[in-house]
Amino acid sequence: MTQRGFIPGGAVTLLVALGFVVMCLGLARGTTTISGYYELRKSQEVLRQTVAGLQNESDQLSVEIERIRTSPSYARKVLRDKYHLTEANEDIVFFAD
Kindly write down the DSSP assignment for every residue of 48-71, as one continuous string: HHHHHHHHHHHHHHHHHHHHHHH-
Q: What pTM was estimated for this model as a whole?
A: 0.53
Residue length, the chain? 97
Reported as a pLDDT band with limits 50, 70 and 90, residue 1 is very low
Q: Quick one: pLDDT at residue 21?
A: 81
Reported as a pLDDT band with limits 50, 70 and 90, residue 32 is low
Determine what percent of the chain is predicted with pLDDT higher than 90: 37
Which one is predicted more confidently, 41 or 69? 69
Q: Quick one: pLDDT at residue 8?
A: 60
Give the Cα separation of 73 and 87 in Å (integer).
Answer: 13
Which one is predicted more confidently, 86 or 67? 67
